[in-house]
Amino acid sequence: ERAAEEAAGRRYMRTLDEQRSRTKNRMALASWDYQSNITDYNQERQLQVALEVADQDKEAWKETMTYLWHEFEDPDLKRMFEKYSKLGTAALPEDLNQRLISAINNMQATYAKATICDYKDRTKCDLRVEPEITEIFVESSDAEELKYTWLEWHKAAGAASKADFIEYVNMYNEAAKLNGYDSVAEWWLSEYEESDSEEQFAALWDQVKPLYQQIHAYVRRHLRLFYGDQVVSAKGPIPAHLLGNIWAQSWNNLEKFTRPFPDKPDVDVTAALINQNYTALKIFKTAEEFFVSLNLSGMPDLFWERSIIEKPQDGRDMVCHASAWDFFDGEDFRIKQCTTITSAFFKTTHHEMGHIQYYLQYKDLPVIYRAGANPGFHEAVGDVISLSVDTPKHLRVMGLLEDGPDDLESNINQLYKMGIDKIVFLPFAYLLDLFRYGVFRGTISEEDYNCHFWQLRETLQGVEPPAPRSEQDFDPAAKYHISADVEYMRYYISYIIQFQFHRSLCELAGEYTSGETERLLSNCDIYNSTEAGNALGKMLQLGSSKSWPDAMEALTGQRKMDASGVLEYFQPLYEWLKTENERTGEYIGWEPSTVQYC
């Protein structure tokens, strides 16, 4: 009897997966049309498709739940049923689902359309976050211009979305409860499959915090030397507008005037990309070539036909934030980004193509398994490639970096450049979802959203707002992922596990042996290594068909996320920073902020 039921379940699963492929394809196409051309018509159409798809998913779910899949013997069939048993936001009554979708679409549109006036020319009021505001944070060292731009952006894209965000939280929490979760926080955490995920995330932060504090102290010193101690204090948090990035999430743009050994050759490739007439297409082809060198897949023809790799000049409104799309038909995969010829986009292109590579590697799995082993895995693929691309050795192979010495000072400069991108990002990413867990759980009430956000920014990141804040502000929504309903813990996890992956791939490529001292993990380049590429491909082909510890074990032999990879990679920098901060008597950590924000 049970065997017959299980056989019926297996047949049913095949038809259900076929249907899910079509509904996800329809949903992706409608969302693509909306996000690549924001009009009322496209927003309305996206909403209609979303509601129709929700209805179809709900009907299918009712049938799925008639199967006694808990008693099935086949663990794989059980895993598929278990995943299909999570209905998601389609569990909401249609009117509440419509309010949820509209709240998210409104926030997306507000963020994508937000413009501010230029600091120097107040009549020029068409500046958007990409490319204009991003460019100001790359180029400007005028504290007043940076402060003005920061405040204007946070008003235009943050405060403007507070009402929609509150609606979003309420509707989303309703959906969570209908799916058996106390709040959205537990739902998001369930993607990491282990009951102690929150404790694991906190333990990772404890492991890397000492290294972050050393970088923070060093950077604060050099900002104080540059801007003066009236702008940057000796012991307080760092003002958020001086860190080369509108969200202070990565501090790459400080490299040129804060690097430990300034008289070494410049390592930023932007100038070289421009001098060598790189176009967006050439950046994409270069990234593709790295994956092919690893015996992984090149981009299909459809990818080149349908991707949007530069902002169209027809004056349309679109979501410029870079994204990679799976249309779940096994053939259609696209990137949408507003590429500019910069080192930042050189990295972002590898990041997005890492998503596409994952889609390609698992495209023949059942649709329900076409996802990362956990969300952090998907964000790590492209970055792992970039860890090889960003080495002086590889950049020289590419002709993007002039020749230079391979001495300790150059290695420290290289580690510093990576540290103000990767280590600095960790507290930012961690706090973004600590904030949202609190919001979804109600431990952070809407009367003090902004106050709590900045308390997290101060305690975890040692950063303070450039001016007093109030509850008329809503600074979190000035970050794309908050306005676009994109979970963020995935990036925190990615920036930890990508170093575990990198270490294993470097050993497979014969570029490094864990614990050796002759070669540094930070100088490893896996380019052209089919051993490394085949191992990476095997892990990616698993999709979410196995638990993430199984997937991680396939590549690294470890079943735990841990910061051992990060700490091994940055060890020489950590030693150097401790010595340097002691030499200069720098205060490690930060005293409470004197800026009024609660």
Ligand X SMILES: C=C(C[SeH])C(=O)N1CCC[C@H]1C(=O)O
The reply to whether 348 sits near ligand X by the rule CB under 6 A is yes
Residues facing 336 on adjacent strands: 308, 323
Task: Identify which of residues 232 and 320 has a Cβ nearer to ligand X in the complex.
Answer: 320
Judged by beta carbon distances under 5 to 8 A according to partner kind, the member of ligand X, Zn ion, none in contact with residue 108 is none
DSSP 64-85: HTTS-GGG-S-HHHHHHHHHHT
Task: Identify which of residues 224 and 422 has a Cβ nearer to ligand X in the complex.
Answer: 422
Residues facing 238 on adjacent strands: 463
Is the distance from CB of 321 to CB of 128 less than 8 angstroms? no
Our answer to whether residue 352 is catalytic in this structure is yes
Which whole-number Å values give the CA distances from 174 to 25, 110, 165, 264, 490, in the listed order?
26, 24, 14, 56, 23
Residue 177 identity (one-letter amino acid):
K
Is the distance from CB of 239 to CB of 232 less than 8 angstroms? yes
Our answer to whether residue 458 is catalytic in this structure is no
Q: How far apart are CA 273 and CA 570, in angstroms?
A: 27
Cβ of residue 303: shortest distance to Zn ion, in angstroms?
A: 16
Cβ of residue 349: shortest distance to Zn ion, in angstroms?
A: 11
Q: How far apart are CA 216 and CA 50, in angstroms?
A: 44
Cβ of residue 139: shortest distance to ligand X, in angstroms?
A: 19
Residue 593 identity (one-letter amino acid):
S
Residue 562 identity (one-letter amino acid):
D
Q: Which two tokens stand for residue 268?
A: 């930023």
Q: What is the largest CA-CA distance in the chain?
A: 79
SS3 324: strand
Task: Identify which of residues 324 and 415 has a Cβ nearer to ligand X in the complex.
Answer: 324
The reply to whether 340 sits near ligand X by the rule CB under 6 A is no
Which residue, chain included where needed, has tokens 């690549």? 36
Cβ of residue 108: shortest distance to ligand X, in angstroms?
A: 14
Task: Annotate each residue in 248-277 with x if it binds ligand X (CB under 6 A) or - if it does not, as one string.
Answer: -x----------------------------
Task: Identify which of residues 379 and 485 has a Cβ nearer to Zn ion in the complex.
Answer: 379
Task: Annotate each residue in 362-381 with x if it binds Zn ion (CB under 5 A) or - if it does not, as one string.
Answer: -----------------x--
Is the distance from CB of 167 to CB of 480 less than 8 angstroms? no
The reply to whether 322 sits near ligand X by the rule CB under 6 A is yes
Interface of this chain with Zn ion, residues 249 to 288, rule: CB under 5 A: none
Total residues at interface with ligand X (CB under 6 A): 6
Using the Cα atoms of residue 236, residue 242, residue 243 and residue 249 in order, give the sign of their dihedral: positive
Cβ of residue 9: shortest distance to Zn ion, in angstroms?
A: 34
Task: Identify which of residues 249 and 411 has a Cβ nearer to ligand X in the complex.
Answer: 249
Q: How far apart are CA 491 and CA 172, in angstroms?
A: 22
Tell me how far the alpha carbon of residue 466 is from its chain's centroid. 25
Which position among 130, 481, 507, 511 bears the catalytic label? 481
Binding residue for ligand X, selected from 148, 491, 501, 597, defined by CB under 6 A: 491
Interface of this chain with ligand X, residues 421 to 480, rule: CB under 6 A: none
Binding residue for ligand X, selected from 20, 162, 224, 351, defined by CB under 6 A: 351
Cβ of residue 308: shortest distance to ligand X, in angstroms?
A: 14
Which position among 130, 152, 255, 352 bears the catalytic label? 352
Contact residues toward ligand X (CB under 6 A) are 249, 322-323, 348, 351, 491
Active-site positions read 352, 481
Contact residues toward Zn ion (CB under 5 A) are 379
